[in-house]
Structure 1
Amino acid sequence: MQHDFAGRIALVTGAASGIGEAVVRQLAAGGAQVLAADIDGNAATAVAMSLGERVQALQVDVSDPDAVRHMVDACKERFGGLHLAVNNAGISGASLQTADYPLEEWHRVLGVNLHGVFYSMKYEIPAILASGGGTVVNMASILGTNGWAGAAAYVAAKHALVGMTKSAALEYSARGLRINAVGPGFIDTPLLQSMDDRAYAGLVALHPAGRLGTAEEVAALTCFLLSDKASFITGSYHLVDGGYSSR
């Protein structure tokens, strides 16, 4: 289902591939103007060029608060405001047991997956309120509510992201700003291309649906939450996981 985003200005981080790219494409198809931000500026530019002048690209490292502030300022300068934001940028991090997790890697993972979302909301929220209100969707994970051995940093960041989303929703819901989180299961994106067949089959087996999800399915839920059809939904964490969390 295509939603009507005509007249809306959107910002998507992690927009160069996978879920982020799918969100950008669905927003643009609905008529939104979109700033597609990614640490890979060339890939973000390729996405933008494939969609026409309605979409523009920006290189940004969301773990840098000054870069995030510039990102939101750039969106306002290029399009005139901000109504919709999808904070999707994230990294997986090392797979190590908790006591063996390097401090540098811990801070790197939280720097992108948690601090980057906080920085984004810190600057997006005033811009959205100044534009008359809107919606934020933060990309969590099934690991925002489940554990995963060897992924302490990632799991900690995603659990915290869900809590931060709920707190922010309580703070701003009366001011015309809805804030929700989406929790994808394992999604068939370029991040899994290096996985061998046995490991891939093991991931599939964790999902009662018998397959991995697609970026387009996650984008469809995300865009529903961004749309006016979800006007009474805020402070929620929505799974799209093929039954993974019901096991």
Structure 2
Amino acid sequence: MSDAENPFDLTGRTALVSGARRGIGLAMAHALARAGADIVGVSANMERQGSDVERRIRALGRAFEGHAVDFADREAVLAFADLMSERARPIDILVNNAGTIVRAPAAEHPLDAFDRVLEVNLANQFALTQRIARGMLARGRGRVIFTASLLSFQGGINVPGYTAAKSGILGLTKALANEWTAGGVTVNAIVPGYIATDNTRALRDDPIRAQAILDRIPAGRWGTSDDLGGATVFLASRASDYVSGIALPVDGGWLGR
């Protein structure tokens, strides 16, 4: 089936997915590959060869290349962005999913931890996006997808840096969409709900908080990383040509409660 017949078909596209080594990023990369995209996967500890994400992507018959980049290191991020800008096959889809979280009460929250979370989750997301999007705008076509959070809308507890960064991602999504959509580059965010990943292990290991969270989710369960796949493919594909500047919740109904 051709791209014209199936607006969700990503055959011939190349998607760069940050934070792709595990969890939500791995699931997003896998979903994009199932839709036909070749994948560039990047994470702080991404293996050059032999990673789980590489095995999954290649098993689908898609191309994969892995890169290790520390998103707390601005110079490393910019060098990687320049490398991606020089590829023979350009990046068509950019999924900004790299992230970190530090949990500590706000009154005692280490300032260096606060700074690092903003650097990884917000500032260097923009640094990478800015350089990759220049090529997209020159070609008149591209997709940028950020991973936002329920804490883009709510305050959270003991995560002031993460909440500030994810609130910033929501504003950044809208700001970039305002500037770039007319140039053929859509910019959107996916808002994962409470997903069973390493980032939420502390919550799931706390029986009181875990039950309180579960009681509020209309779907009656924690999400899985694979629950994010459909939204990712939609926002990466022609099916979302007229969608830009939105935050799409995938949260089991949490925000509607």
Gaps of 5+ in 1: none
Q: 1:130 to 1:82 in 2, by over 3 A?
A: farther
Identify the residue that residue 163 of structure 1 maps to in structure 2.
Answer: 171
Per-residue Cα deviation, 1:102-130 (whole angstroms, up to 9, x for no partner) = 11111011111111211121112112223
* Cα separation, 2, equivalents of 1:79 and 1:220: 28
The one of 5, 8, 11 aligned to 2:13:
8
Which deviates more from structure 2 when the two are superposed, residues 87-96 or residues 121-130? 121-130
TM-score computed with the length of structure 2 as normaliser: 0.88
Query: CA offset at residue 193 of structure 1?
Result: 4.7
The one of 144, 147, 154 aligned to 2:162:
154
The one of 49, 54, 57 aligned to 1:51:
57
Which deviates more from structure 2 when the two are superposed, residues 75-84 or residues 190-199? 190-199
SS of 2:128 mapped into structure 1: helix
Q: How many residues align?
A: 246
Q: 1:94 to 1:191 in 2, by over 3 A?
A: closer
* Cα separation, 1, equivalents of 2:50 and 2:83: 15
Identify the residue that residue 17 of structure 1 maps to in structure 2.
Answer: 22
Q: Is residue 212 from structure 1 mapped to residue 212 from structure 2 by the alignment?
A: no
SS of 1:6 mapped into structure 2: coil
Query: CA offset at residue 147 of structure 1?
Result: 1.2
The one of 224, 232, 255 aligned to 1:222:
232
Identify the residue that residue 121 of structure 1 maps to in structure 2.
Answer: 129
The one of 41, 44, 61 aligned to 2:46:
41
Per-residue Cα deviation, 1:27-64 (whole angstroms, up to 9, x for no partner) = 11122121000011229851113422611110011232
Which deviates more from structure 2 when the two are superposed, residues 70-79 or residues 29-38? 70-79
SS of 1:117 mapped into structure 2: helix
Per-residue Cα deviation, 1:63-109 (whole angstroms, up to 9, x for no partner) = 3222222323333445521110000011121231x232111111011
Tell me, yes or no, if the aligned pair for 1:106 and 1:153 is still in contact at 8 Å.
Answer: yes
* Cα separation, 2, equivalents of 1:73 and 1:117: 14
Q: 1:137 to 1:45 in 2, by over 3 A?
A: farther
Q: 1:197 to 1:2 in 2, by over 3 A?
A: farther
Query: CA offset at residue 151 of structure 1?
Result: 1.4
Q: Is residue 130 from structure 1 mapped to residue 130 from structure 2 by the alignment?
A: no
Identify the residue that residue 253 of structure 2 maps to in structure 1.
Answer: 243
Identify the residue that residue 65 of structure 1 maps to in structure 2.
Answer: 74
TM-score computed with the length of structure 1 as normaliser: 0.91
Opposite residue 153 of structure 1, the aligned amino acid is: G
Tell me, yes or no, if the aligned pair for 2:137 and 2:180 is still in contact at 8 Å.
Answer: no
Q: Is residue 110 from structure 1 mapped to residue 118 from structure 2 by the alignment?
A: yes
Opposite residue 10 of structure 1, the aligned amino acid is: A
Query: CA offset at residue 236 of structure 1?
Result: 0.7
* Cα separation, 1, equivalents of 2:55 and 2:84: 17
Which runs of structure 2 are paired with 1:177-192 in the superposition (5 Å)?
177-192=185-200
Which deviates more from structure 2 when the two are superposed, residues 70-79 or residues 210-219? 70-79
Identify the residue that residue 145 of structure 1 maps to in structure 2.
Answer: 153
* Cα separation, 2, equivalents of 1:131 and 1:80: 12
* Cα separation, 2, equivalents of 1:203 and 1:16: 27
Opposite residue 169 of structure 1, the aligned amino acid is: A
Opposite residue 100 of structure 2, the aligned amino acid is: I
* Cα separation, 1, equivalents of 2:253 and 2:8: 26
Q: Is residue 234 from structure 1 mapped to residue 244 from structure 2 by the alignment?
A: yes
Query: CA offset at residue 210 of structure 1?
Result: 1.1
Q: 1:43 to 1:200 in 2, by over 3 A?
A: farther
